[in-house]
Amino acid sequence: MNIIGKKVKRIDGIQKAEGTAKYASDYYFHNMLYASVVYANVPHGILKSIDTSKAYELPGVVYVATYKDVPGINKFGHVVKDMNFLVPVGGKIRFEGDVIALIAAETKEIADMAAKLVSFEIEELPPVLTIDEAIKDEVIVNGTSNIGFHRKIRRGDVEKAFKEADLVIKMDFETGYQEHAYLEPQGAVAYYTPDNIMEIYVSAQCPFYVHEDVANILGLPLNKINVIQTETGGGFGGKEDVPSYIASKPALLSYLTKRPVKLIYTREMDIKETSKRHPSKSYYEVAFKKDGTIIGIKSKVYLDMGAYSTLSPIVMYRTTIHSCGTYKVPNVFVDVYGVYTNKVPCGAFRGFGSPQVLFAIESVMDEAAKRLNIDPYEIRMKNTLDVGNETATGHKLTSSVGAKKTLKKVYEMSNYPELKKLVDNFNKTNKYKKLGLGWSHIFYGVSLGSGGQHLDGASAEVLIHPDGTVNIMIGNTEMGQGAKTTMAIIAAEVLGQKVDKITVLQPQTLVIQDSGPTVASRTTVFSGNAVRIAAEKIKNNIVEFLSNYYGVGKNEVIFSDGKVYIRDKEFTFEEIIQLCNKNNVKLSETGWYKTPKLNFDHEKGIGEAYITYTFSTQLSLVEVDKLTGKITLKEAWVCHDIGKVINYEGAFGQVHGGVIQGMGYAIMEEIKQNKGKILTDNFNNYIIPTIKDVPKNIHVEFVEEEFNEGPFGAKGLGEPSLMSSPPSIANAVSYAIDKRITKIPISMEDIINL
């Protein structure tokens, strides 16, 4: 490898550091209007009337749009179209962030003022605010029952396994919300080009979702709308489906006024209206043999979907598949339920429904280890997956299973036996400050999985210009995770051009084919393969030409690091491209990669769930102050098997960021609500980790068990980087205080009150 796996500076780094990168709020157009949003601000009720007349009287107000102004379908929902874009009179309000009207005005200030002048009446209904209330079905939030969706795994004979067990661990768990806290809030600008195309500049992970949804709302054909992804200041899943709901607002107002319209959310709007990680309640029973072998799992998991289904049914698929952890479990009986409540709709968030259950199963593993007097490392080693084993859904793994290696690596990196002695000695001599060590061992299905195969394709366009510089456009997005650099590295490796001669463009939906959503840690595998395929096609065109031109064999043309070698001659890449260009060689190609077919029985929850899995292990060292309740993550050792590492610096950064975002979820971040209203509506009261909370040492290593379908053998890392952290930290805290933590976030009060 020339460049794959080496340290490469991120190609979009300079403009982001200097502040010249253009985010949605940086777009201005002549004659542009500003939008504002009128919210229901009531968790449950029926909309009785809307009066826009006062708002219209305010000078500078250009349009006040309600449901009556929607020319297309006034509904959203990728699985079930159950959410109104603008609530109609007579329709139901299901959470405080339901939208009643939209304002377009000459200035932002006028638009905000006008929003307050829209009056409406709501007949309030009793709100359903918790999972326990919801499942009683006394007040129905949405559909015909508050239990909207159910997924399951039925494998083997669970009753028999529990009869044969030496130890049964029965534990209940609870997890809270998590806000994505991307630094750039949601926003979009709509603008008509001179040829009457509506352009939408939007901060988004999935421009094709915005394309489809805006087309539905406006009743326009897809070729009249161009969705252009702006630089995106973080998504973390929060900009998967949500940008459709955001962008449709300025899009409608622009459609109605024929002027450009801008809508940038404030943090308060963003926290009120947009998705979060699902809170959960789960009930686990796990059967073990004396030696620590798991023989069966029974579990029931409830996810709080909030008011609308949005992506919950897909999130629940991942919850189900990951519910038994990274282990061989022959007998499985799992039920996952999605429950409606009168709160913010929950959706995609890094890990996509798996962190909730991985916290549960990894806590059970530690508890079992303790009761059976086995080391937490050993019990994981005993049960983890290897080549030839089957996952809990009966997916037989034939290659690329580095699970054991990640465990071993963390054991070695941390010098575990010594570390454990140090910790235990410290705890013997300190009364109020306690140290804790906690393991976690997780896996993650890369790709959209068996249910999402129709979306699991990706496109790339690669173009070499006459001066030898290269442009790439992919249908997936850069949202901070480093995809652009990864794509440039792959193209550079194939073409032999240098990375700094390659520019990766923001995707536009009128230019590149729908490549599915940029989620599921799939970009490296899917877009990476598409780039590889396109670049290989171009390279073949060049080699074909050169071998004829110089009368040499094709294998005598060698590309490497900006140079081309033909027998004993050496050329620069640029010289060769000039020559190709003068000889009409085709220097642009499209690459398309689609997922291999998966066999899965959705009724039983059995089969090949994902195309491959990433395996990870984390060991965390925490300090707990029993007097103040403060928990400090002091050090972490992390190892991921991500197949071939393409972008080393990017991967390293993902692990650091993931560990810290996972730490926020485990011990800091808490959405507080009162009667369905979110109180923690900004970062002064929704507390996320800052640089001060980052430990000095997060040790990172990779295992490279190559995935033969992946580009150069790569898998995915974006989400697992977070997922290993919460259970590892919770287990470390449990160790420190010698009591089992079963609820996250763990607050300082929790520690003091224990």
Q: Which residues of the shown chain bind ligand MTE in the complex (CB under 6 A)?
A: 234-237, 350, 479-481, 483, 518-524, 654, 657, 716, 718-719
Of the candidates 577, 524, 438, the one whose C-alpha atom is nearest the C-alpha of residue 712 is: 524
524 binds, among ligand MTE, ligand MOS, none (CB under 5 to 8 A by kind): ligand MTE
Stretch that binds ligand MOS, among 42-50, 348-356, 378-386, 449-457 (CB under 6 A): 348-356
Instruction: Please report whether residue 349 would count as binding ligand MOS according to CB under 6 A.
Output: yes
Nearest distance from C-beta of residue 360 to ligand MTE, angstroms: 21
Tokens read off for 404: 């054991």
Q: Nearer to ligand MTE by C-beta: 355 or 402?
A: 355
One of 237, 345, 516, 689 touching ligand MOS (CB under 6 A): 237
Nearest distance from C-beta of residue 240 to ligand MOS, angstroms: 5
Q: Nearer to ligand MOS by C-beta: 42 or 204?
A: 204
Neighbouring C-beta atoms of residue 406, cutoff 10 Å: 29
Nearest distance from C-beta of residue 518 to ligand MOS, angstroms: 7
Nearest distance from C-beta of residue 481 to ligand MTE, angstroms: 4
Pairing of strands 612-625, 557-560: unpaired
716 binds, among ligand MOS, ligand MTE, none (CB under 5 to 8 A by kind): ligand MTE
Q: Nearer to ligand MOS by C-beta: 350 or 539?
A: 350
User: Amino acid identity, residue 361?
Assistant: I
Helix 648-667, helix 355-372: angle, nearest 10? 80
CA dihedral sign of residues 748, 752, 753, 754: positive
99 binds, among ligand MOS, ligand MTE, none (CB under 5 to 8 A by kind): none
Q: Nearer to ligand MTE by C-beta: 722 or 729?
A: 722
Residue 654 to residue 407: CA distance in whole angstroms: 19
Q: Nearer to ligand MTE by C-beta: 296 or 689?
A: 689
Tokens read off for 103: 């304002």
Q: Nearer to ligand MTE by C-beta: 211 or 350?
A: 350
- The DSSP result for 368-416, as a single string, is HHHHHT--HHHHHHHHB--TT-B-TT--B--S---HHHHHHHHHHHTTH
Tokens read off for 77: 């929902």
C-beta nearest to ligand MTE: residue: 718
Helix 523-550, helix 573-582: angle, nearest 10? 70
Of the candidates 617, 626, 715, 600, the one whose C-alpha atom is nearest the C-alpha of residue 320 is: 600
Q: Nearer to ligand MTE by C-beta: 154 or 656?
A: 656
Stretch that binds ligand MOS, among 259-267, 346-354, 602-610, 624-632 (CB under 6 A): 346-354
Instruction: Please report whether residue 181 would count as binding ligand MOS according to CB under 6 A.
Output: no
479 binds, among ligand MTE, ligand MOS, none (CB under 5 to 8 A by kind): ligand MTE
- Give the chain's end-to-end CA distance (angstroms, integer): 54
Nearest distance from C-beta of residue 456 to ligand MOS, angstroms: 13
Nearest distance from C-beta of residue 391 to ligand MOS, angstroms: 19
Stretch that binds ligand MOS, among 250-258, 326-334, 343-351, 689-697 (CB under 6 A): 343-351
| Cα separations in angstroms, 470 against 64, 425, 461, 543, 585 | 46, 58, 10, 17, 15
Question: Does the N-terminal peptide bond of residue 689 adopt cis geometry, omega within 30 degrees of 0?
Answer: no
Q: What is the per-residue binding string for ligand MOS in 694-723, x denoting contact by CB under 6 A? A: -------------------------x----
User: Amino acid identity, residue 249?
Assistant: K
Strand residues in 421-469 grouped as ranges (E): 433-446, 457-464
Residue 127 to residue 98: CA distance in whole angstroms: 14
Instruction: Please report whether residue 519 would count as binding ligand MOS according to CB under 6 A.
Output: yes
Nearest distance from C-beta of residue 161 to ligand MOS, angstroms: 33
In DSSP terms, 300 is beta-bridged to 283, 335
**CB–CB of 263/65 below 8 Å?**
no
Q: Nearer to ligand MOS by C-beta: 435 or 520?
A: 520
**CB–CB of 157/331 below 8 Å?**
yes
The site for ligand MOS, by CB under 6 A, has a size of 10
One of 114, 295, 348, 646 touching ligand MOS (CB under 6 A): 348
One of 255, 284, 352, 416 touching ligand MOS (CB under 6 A): 352
Q: Nearer to ligand MTE by C-beta: 483 or 543?
A: 483
Stretch that binds ligand MOS, among 116-124, 329-337, 345-353, 504-512 (CB under 6 A): 345-353
447 binds, among ligand MOS, ligand MTE, none (CB under 5 to 8 A by kind): none
Residue 65 to residue 74: CA distance in whole angstroms: 12
Q: Nearer to ligand MOS by C-beta: 235 or 496?
A: 235
Residue 374 to residue 261: CA distance in whole angstroms: 62
Q: Tell me which DSSP letter residue 551 carries.
A: T
Sheet holding 99-105, edge to edge: 61-65, 99-105, 33-39, 261-264, 187-192, 198-202, 225-229
234 binds, among ligand MOS, ligand MTE, none (CB under 5 to 8 A by kind): ligand MTE
Stretch that binds ligand MOS, among 56-64, 286-294, 344-352, 664-672 (CB under 6 A): 344-352
Q: Nearer to ligand MOS by C-beta: 501 or 715?
A: 715
Of the candidates 718, 624, 722, 732, the one whose C-alpha atom is nearest the C-alpha of residue 665 is: 722
Instruction: Please report whether residue 240 would count as binding ligand MOS according to CB under 6 A.
Output: yes
Residue 266 to residue 366: CA distance in whole angstroms: 42
Q: Nearer to ligand MOS by C-beta: 352 or 573?
A: 352
Nearest distance from C-beta of residue 351 to ligand MOS, angstroms: 7
Of the candidates 531, 446, 527, the one whose C-alpha atom is nearest the C-alpha of residue 479 is: 527
One of 247, 490, 520, 585 touching ligand MOS (CB under 6 A): 520
681 binds, among ligand MTE, ligand MOS, none (CB under 5 to 8 A by kind): none
Residue 90 to residue 94: CA distance in whole angstroms: 13
Query: Which helix (H) or strand (E) covers residue 33, if one does?
Result: strand 33-39
Of the candidates 230, 680, 641, 609, the one whose C-alpha atom is nearest the C-alpha of residue 453 is: 609
Residue 37 to residue 104: CA distance in whole angstroms: 9
483 binds, among ligand MTE, ligand MOS, none (CB under 5 to 8 A by kind): ligand MTE
Residue 398 to residue 383: CA distance in whole angstroms: 17
Can you give the binding site for ligand MOS, defined by CB under 6 A? 205, 237, 240, 348-350, 352, 519-520, 719
